[in-house]
Amino acid sequence: MAGHSKWANIKHRKERADAKKGKIISRAAKEIISAVKMGGPDPKANSRLRLAVEKARACNVPADVIDRNIKKASSEDQADYHEMTYELYGHGGVGIILDIMTDNKNRISSDIRIATNKKGGSIAGPGSVAYNFDRKGVIQIVKNHAIEEELFEAATNAGAEDFKSEEESFIILTDPVNFIHVKNEVEKLGFKADDAELEMVPKVYVECSDEDYLANMALIEWLEELDDVDAVWHNMEEKEIKQP
């Protein structure tokens, strides 16, 4: 935001990126633990675990983290996790979706009520926000790590749905089912993904007043701090706020 130094902006983005990476690793660990609890620790005999491991690798989760959580899940003392989605209305008509894995449904329900009481917004009914989003595989490659024409051809041949050239990165969009395949095929040709995950991509973005924008950011940042919340998706148009 204006009024802050360039370094402050860079530092803030890095902190958010580091937090996002931590959430991705946490989510992968929970999915692996849940899969082991349901079908055992052998990926060859447990298709759910095999998929969880493939997703973790696609999101660049370290191998030692994967192995450690497979072993951890075999302990009788290790709690199981439940996958949940919460939909919220933010300020100014913005939709917010929370990806959650929790070992205590009552705790996360209470945490979300506290968040909306403190920062505004309200809990929405199932489907009332999600209809405006599509879940997609999103693969990001920094521009100086790839040649656009070659990457576009590789992504298209692998079955990508869309290819975008943003300011600093190339973005490949895939169907969730093809996400791991497309990432693997692109990387076989030497194009290393700098970021890759399943995301909720808005169909329509909402423009907010400065006041609503700041209020939504405060709510989103609160929600991102909750341990059980693995990702927060919204359809708010990004904007610069000019400080006096």
Q: Evaluate whether 60 touches 193 at the Cβ level (below 8 Å).
A: yes
Half-sphere exposure of 193 (CA within 13 A, CB side): 27
Q: Evaluate whether 159 touches 137 at the Cβ level (below 8 Å).
A: no
**Which pairs count as long-range contacts for 12-17, CB under 8 Å and 24+ apart, including other chains?**
none
| Domains in the chain: ranges and CATH | 6-73 (1.10.10.200), 81-244 (3.30.70.980)
Share of the chain above pLDDT 90, in %: 64
Q: Which of 196, 195, 190, 143 is nearest to 170 (CA)?
A: 143
Q: What is the pLDDT of residues 98-136, one digit of tens each?
A: 999 999 999 999 999 999 999 999 999 999 999 999 999
pLDDT surpasses 80 at 9: no
Give the C-alpha distances (Å, rounded to integers) separating 16 from 3, 159, 175, 224.
Answer: 19, 31, 26, 10
User: Bigger pLDDT: 38 or 14?
Assistant: 38
The predicted model scores a pTM of: 0.81
Q: What is the pLDDT of residues 199-239, one digit of tens each?
A: 999 999 999 999 999 999 999 999 999 989 988 999 999 88
What's residue 11's pLDDT?
45
- Separation between Cα atoms, residue 41 and residue 156, nearest integer Å: 35
Q: Which of 188, 200, 196 is nearest to 233 (CA)?
A: 200
